Amino acid sequence: MLRVATMNQDLRREREAASFNPELLTHVLDGSPENTRRRREIENLILNDPDFQHEDLNFLTRSQRYEVAVRKSANMVKKMREFGIADPEEIMWFKRIHMVNFVEPVGLNFSMFIPTLLNQGTTAQQEKWLLSSQGLQIIGTYAQTEMGHGTHLRGLETTATYDPETQEFILNSPTVTSIKWWPGGLGKTSNHAIVLAQLITKGKCYGLHAFIVPIREIGTHKPLPGITVGDIGPKFGYDEMDNGYLKMDNYRIPRENMLMKYAQVKPDGTYVKPVSNKLTYGTMVFVRSFLVGEAARSLSKACTIAIRYSAVRHQSEIKPGEPEPQILDFQTQQYKLFPLLATAYAFQFVGAYVKETYHRINEGIGQGDLSELPELHALVAGLKAFTSWTTNAAIEACRMACGGHGYSHCSGLPNIYVTFTPTCTFEGENTVMMLQTARFLMKSYDQVHSGKLVGGMGSYLNDLPTQRIQPRQVAVWPSVVDIDSPDSLTEAYKLRAARLVEIAAKNLQNEVIQRESKEVAWNLTSVDLVRASEAHCHYVAVKLFSEKLLKIQDKSVHAVLRNLCLLYCLYGISQKAGDFLQGSIMTESQITQVNQRIKELLTAIRPDAVALVDAFDFQDVTLGSVLGRYDGNVYENLFEWAKKSPLNKSEVHESYYKYLKPLQSKL
């Protein structure tokens, strides 16, 4: 790619000194050289398009940011047609550059309204709503969560009561907690919503069903009578999104507005049960596996910014009298950033794995094979939680590693953080996700103990009955662990996972015996269960990273990735050393060696750090950061950026005349 000629001297030196060609690593991350080529082609289409204006969102009010996002959404359909972009992957690439923050008020129309219509609507319903929603002539959203309920779906309170006389459903929000809360695009943008409500007909409640509900009048965009709808107010991030509330008072919709591909309500009010009900399972897995990839991307962005800036920034001195070193030369700075860089790479490979696996299994589902879905569902739930928790803390660590300037929006890091952090909560709250994985692990554990083998990522549990892992026994494993071998370290993580799964299972059994209630026992073991799931996910990440190494052809790329993989493994051990010691998986002296080796790896990775973040191949627009610019001209641009702030528009701010001066005179 063509990059600007005047590059910061420090960054130039860093790039010249790299031991490998970052382009080759980019191909690995993209999946193939062809993918890299096509991705860049699409990115450049947008960047070179005069219609594509990129405002700096940091200087806009929330209302302006919303407006910009709506404008871009309105353009997008047209532009994608113009550029001939239809492949799902290509649409992602397009949206990432076009929307920058990947947050769009009409996003739920495409990601939820249309898919739900396709999955759960009858042919007649699809005919009625599909075309116009695809062309954004009606804008739909998906209203599920309520003020009082999120994760626990069965607790939703909105009701849809069938009235056979008029053949209508009467929708109600019976309590304040039943008000729909959070759906994206609901506040200001959408005029239709798919509402999840408890279906009541002939006096009986049949549980949650989906209804298409018109909420705003066509032509005026005013809320329809019986509908109270609005924006839920300011948030940590997602300024572009009008997350909304919706309250319905005896609001009537025709019978045909219930999505009836599966369950049905006959005109007389008779309820017809659905045949099968495993529909949303697949979508949930898809969304969560996508989020694992987003964790990798967000962390990669944060690392890019922090590492480039640390190569440009000079401060203090290591030796008295010498010129100020790049802050990346301080061991503490390396220790803050390089393990996160290694984690970013680990998560890139985890993300690629879950995506591939999803597509593979999804093809199987198409042919009626559901056998692999439960494991993937359980694995992806845990991995979503594991990667998003880690990434959440890591982005913030990158921000703090940039000192004071990291606190300014010029760094781009606050924005990356606030945009990413809801991932810990939405699409399944992380603790709940970890407990879902734990449920699968407990089931597998029981299965193994009843003599049946388990497959997949949890197959290590098959070895448990013979291993007899007992914490108090003399060390059995130390001679096995070679701290310079990713495979051997993967084994160590496997032993840790096995041990923590076993401890959780045994504690659960004990509690079950004492409490006489499985559910109470589950709650009283949940801290152990979350630990077990985390260990399982950590093992999976380590395993996938080590396996990825085998597929790397280029020697120099392999060497640098191997160091990152070792750092990822060893850093994790050092952070969780208690587990490895307590399980007699490693000895005290090995832990000391691990800590020593980590420091050697920091030194080894240091010369390649900038090239390693270059390989992520982010456009400057995507990073949205003055500190993380590719050319490294940080200070000049920081000054220019600040001058653009609306507060600097006039030399003497209006508030001086309005407030400062008169107030001064009052004293």
Partner 1 sequence: MDSPVHRVSLGDTWSRRVHPDMASERFIQSFSVEQLTNILDGGAQNTALRRKVESIIHSDPEFSVKDNYFMTQNERYVAAVQKRFHLQIIAKRLGWSENSPEFYYAYRYSLPGQPQRYQGPCLWWATPAPCPFPHRALSGELALGLHTVFLKSLQSLGSEEQIAKWTPLCNEFRIIASYAQTELGHGTNLRGLETEATYDAATQEFVVHSPTLTATKWWPGDMGRSATHTLVQAQLICSGARQGMHAFIVPIRSLRDHTPLPGVTVGDIGPKMDFDNIDHGFLRLDHVRIPRENMLSRFAQVLPDGTYVKLGTQQTNYFSMVVVRVELLLGEIIPLLQKACVIAIRYSVIRRQSSIRPSDPEAKILDYQTQQQKLLPQLATAYAFHFLASNLLKFLHSSYDAIRNKDFSHLPELHALSAGIKAMTSDLCFQGSELCRRACGGHGYSKLSGLPSLVTRVTASCTYEGDNTVLYLQTARFLVKNYLQTQAIPGSTQKSLPPSVAYLTAPYLARCPAQKAADFLHPKLYTTAWAHVAARLIKYSAHHLETLIRSGVDWAEAWNQTTVIHLQTAKAHCYYISVKSFTETLEKLEDKPAVRQVLKRLCDLYALHGILTNAADFLHDGFLSGAQVDAVRTGYLELLGLVRKDAILLTDAFDFTDPSLNSALGCYDGNVYERLFHWAQKSPTNTQENPAYAKYLRPLLQSWKSKL
Query: What letter represents residue 607's amino acid?
Result: P
Is residue 335 part of the contact set for partner 1 (CB under 8 A)? yes
- Kindly indicate which of the ranges 158-166, 184-192, 301-309, 608-616 contains the residues binding partner 1, using the contact rule CB under 8 A: 184-192
Four-point Cα dihedral 576, 421, 414, 542, nearest 10: 40
Q: Which of 101, 109, 145, 298: binder of partner 1 (CB under 8 A)?
A: 145
Stretch 286-315 residues interacting with partner 1 (CB under 8 A):
313-315
Is residue 9 part of the contact set for partner 1 (CB under 8 A)? no
Is residue 370 part of the contact set for partner 1 (CB under 8 A)? no
Phi, psi of 543 (to 5 degrees): -60, -45
Is residue 550 part of the contact set for partner 1 (CB under 8 A)? no
Q: Pull the structure tokens for residue 60.
A: 């806009």
Distance (Å) of CA 253 to CA 131, 191, 451:
21, 14, 55
* Residue closer to partner 1, measured from CB, 23 or 620: 620
The Cα–Cα gap between 406 and 413 comes to 7
* Residue closer to partner 1, measured from CB, 289 or 430: 430
- Kindly indicate which of the ranges 1-9, 319-327, 343-351, 614-622 contains the residues binding partner 1, using the contact rule CB under 8 A: 319-327
The Cα–Cα gap between 339 and 353 comes to 21
Stretch 60-89 residues interacting with partner 1 (CB under 8 A):
61-64, 66-67, 70-71, 73-74
Tokens 């304040």 belong to which residue? 176
Is residue 252 part of the contact set for partner 1 (CB under 8 A)? no
Residue 369 neighbours by CB under 8 Å, 6+ apart: none
Is residue 478 part of the contact set for partner 1 (CB under 8 A)? no
Is residue 277 part of the contact set for partner 1 (CB under 8 A)? no
Q: How many residues does the chain have?
A: 667
Q: Which residues of 572-594 are buried (b: 16+ CB within 10 A; e: fewer)?
A: bbeebbebbbebbbbbeebbebb
Tell me how far, at minimum, the Cβ of 645 lies from partner 1, in Å: 4
Stretch 520-549 residues interacting with partner 1 (CB under 8 A):
520, 523-527, 530
Q: Which of 50, 84, 366, 646: binder of partner 1 (CB under 8 A)?
A: 646
Q: Which of 232, 512, 552, 559: binder of partner 1 (CB under 8 A)?
A: 232
Burial class (CB in 10 A: 0-12, 13-18, 19+), 437: buried
Tell me how far, at minimum, the Cβ of 342 lies from partner 1, in Å: 15
Q: Pull the structure tokens for residue 184.
A: 């994206």
Q: Which of 21, 44, 58, 161: binder of partner 1 (CB under 8 A)?
A: 58
Tell me how far, at minimum, the Cβ of 162 lies from partner 1, in Å: 26
Q: Pull the structure tokens for residue 223.
A: 């809320």
The Cα–Cα gap between 505 and 508 comes to 5
Stretch 372-431 residues interacting with partner 1 (CB under 8 A):
392-393, 396, 400, 403-404, 406-410, 414, 418, 421-422, 424-426, 429-431
**Which one of the listed residues 427, 491, 502, 534 is annotated catalytic?**
427
Tokens 């993300």 belong to which residue? 351
Tell me how far, at minimum, the Cβ of 348 lies from partner 1, in Å: 24
Tell me how far, at minimum, the Cβ of 194 lies from partner 1, in Å: 18
Q: Which of 12, 15, 261, 336: binder of partner 1 (CB under 8 A)?
A: 336
Which one-letter DSSP state was computed for residue 110?
I
Residue 427 known to be catalytic: yes
Tell me the DSSP string of 594-642: HHHHHHHHHHHHGGGHHHHHHTT---HHHHT-STT-TT--HHHHHHHHH
Stretch 87-106 residues interacting with partner 1 (CB under 8 A):
105
The Cα–Cα gap between 480 and 300 comes to 33
Angle between helices 518-550 and 555-575 (to 10 degrees): 150
Stretch 561-580 residues interacting with partner 1 (CB under 8 A):
574, 576-580
The Cα–Cα gap between 562 and 426 comes to 34
Q: Pull the structure tokens for residue 337.
A: 């950033």
* Residue closer to partner 1, measured from CB, 164 or 422: 422
Q: Which of 285, 385, 435, 505: binder of partner 1 (CB under 8 A)?
A: 435
* Residue closer to partner 1, measured from CB, 556 or 574: 574
> How far is the first Cα of the chain from the last one, in angstroms, to the nearest whole number?
62
Binding footprint of partner 1, residue count (CB under 8 A)? 137
Q: Which of 7, 24, 136, 224: binder of partner 1 (CB under 8 A)?
A: 136
The Cα–Cα gap between 305 and 307 comes to 6
Tell me how far, at minimum, the Cβ of 58 lies from partner 1, in Å: 5
The Cα–Cα gap between 477 and 486 comes to 16
The Cα–Cα gap between 187 and 399 comes to 32
Burial class (CB in 10 A: 0-12, 13-18, 19+), 339: buried
* Residue closer to partner 1, measured from CB, 148 or 164: 148
Is residue 468 part of the contact set for partner 1 (CB under 8 A)? no
The Cα–Cα gap between 49 and 109 comes to 26
Is residue 263 part of the contact set for partner 1 (CB under 8 A)? no
Tell me how far, at minimum, the Cβ of 333 lies from partner 1, in Å: 8
Beta carbons of 487 and 496 less than 8 angstroms apart:
no
* Of 570, 538, 527, 499, residue with least CA distance to 383: 538
* Residue closer to partner 1, measured from CB, 311 or 544: 311
Tell me how far, at minimum, the Cβ of 218 lies from partner 1, in Å: 6
How is the beta sheet containing 180-181 ordered, strand by strand? Answer: 180-181, 244-248, 227-231
Q: Which of 12, 54, 79, 149: binder of partner 1 (CB under 8 A)?
A: 149
Q: Which of 4, 17, 176, 370: binder of partner 1 (CB under 8 A)?
A: 176
Tell me how far, at minimum, the Cβ of 357 lies from partner 1, in Å: 28
Stretch 579-618 residues interacting with partner 1 (CB under 8 A):
579-584, 588, 591, 595, 598-599
- Kindly indicate which of the ranges 47-55, 159-167, 203-211, 332-340 contains the residues binding partner 1, using the contact rule CB under 8 A: 332-340
* Residue closer to partner 1, measured from CB, 43 or 231: 231
Is residue 330 part of the contact set for partner 1 (CB under 8 A)? yes
Stretch 496-525 residues interacting with partner 1 (CB under 8 A):
517, 519-520, 523-525
The Cα–Cα gap between 644 and 102 comes to 24
Is residue 53 part of the contact set for partner 1 (CB under 8 A)? no
Tell me how far, at minimum, the Cβ of 430 lies from partner 1, in Å: 8
Q: Which long-range contacts (CB under 8 A, 24 or more apart) does 472-476 make?
A: 473/584, 474/584, 475/584, 475/587, 476/584
Q: Is 204 helix (H, G, I), strand (E, B) or coil?
A: strand
Is residue 642 part of the contact set for partner 1 (CB under 8 A)? yes
Give me the active site residues, please.
427
